[in-house]
Structure 1
């Protein structure tokens, strides 16, 4: 290493010699893989908002307390979750999931993009004695509905009927 100083700047020069081309190629490949891994992990393809005619455009963020309050306010739901668990969206939809996804599409959502993924489900008790279930993936809402039972299959849209 050489250190040099001019009147207005400091210069550091580093000289290296790579004797082994295989080591150099390995390090380049390792660096490329590391960069690709960081890009892959940091990319979030989940939508940030959705649109439906009853509400207009609304945010799907559901990671902070404020995000949750904002999302729930669109559907007049308040309070703390009754339960939080995980739900795996199946790879192949049966008639129940097809019906459920039709409700989601009317709200600007689509579970087809999350087939085979495990989502986090937050269940709230609504003022109208319905249970409101919110499905999230990576902090974004991917599905929601209300039902009379905690885990009921009598689900309906959160939109005003």
Structure 2
């Protein structure tokens, strides 16, 4: 059996040092957990409109996002579940470039499921606005007139 014995001349000073070391370790662990948790911002920035909220848990929050982009009188027409492709091809890369114009990026969501909310809107050159939501957070969106081959545009128009 091994016994470690040592004598401390000033117990108060030793206890203070142990307490300070303990606090430093706790702070380091907390900082690592906070930084490594993958917490994402609740806002994004778009050149055209500035900073806007990504909170999209409720219908009211989703309508507020559309209002941020100047889209009024939106009516929910469809809601379904989609899967973001695991591997991006040229089409999904181009679509993700559109997302990046509004401060979003689908790359971290590859292979994940998301909800797609489709709204009828009265916007210039668009009859629909589509919001992609994952975990109650906006991850993508676009405007379209649903005419095949004419593509999609960023929410910012």
Give 5+ residue unaligned stretches, structure 1.
1-38
Contact 1:62 1:139 in 2 (8 A): yes
Can you give the 5+ residue segments of structure 2 that lack an aligned partner in the other structure? 1-32
Corresponding residue for residue 126 of structure 1: 121
In structure 2, do the counterparts of structure 1 residues 53 and 60 end up closer, same or farther at CA, with 3 Å as the change threshold? same
Contact 2:75 2:121 in 1 (8 A): no
Is the CA contact 1:51–1:58 (under 8 Å) kept in the aligned structure 2? yes
Q: Secondary structure of 1:98's partner? A: helix
Aligned residue for 1:67, secondary structure, equals: helix
- Aligned equivalents of 2:46, 2:63: Cα separation in 1: 19
In 2, are the aligned partners of 1:50 and 1:57 still within 8 Å (CA)?
A: yes
Single out whichever of 71-80 and 129-138 deviates more from structure 2.
71-80
Which residue of 1 is the match for residue 135 of structure 2?
A: 138
What TM-score does the superposition give when structure 2 sets the normalisation length? 0.68
Q: Which of 54, 57, 63 is the matching residue for 1:63?
A: 57
- The 1:89/1:56 distance shift into structure 2, 3 A limit, reads same
Is 1:147 equivalent to 2:144 in the alignment? yes
Distance 1:100 1:51 in 2: 18
Runs of 4+ more than 4 Å apart: 150-153
* Aligned pairs, number: 119
- Of stretches 136-145 and 67-76 in structure 1, the one that deviates more from structure 2 is 67-76
Match of 1:82 among 66, 77, 80: 77
How far the C-alpha of 1:68 sits from its partner, in A, is 1.8
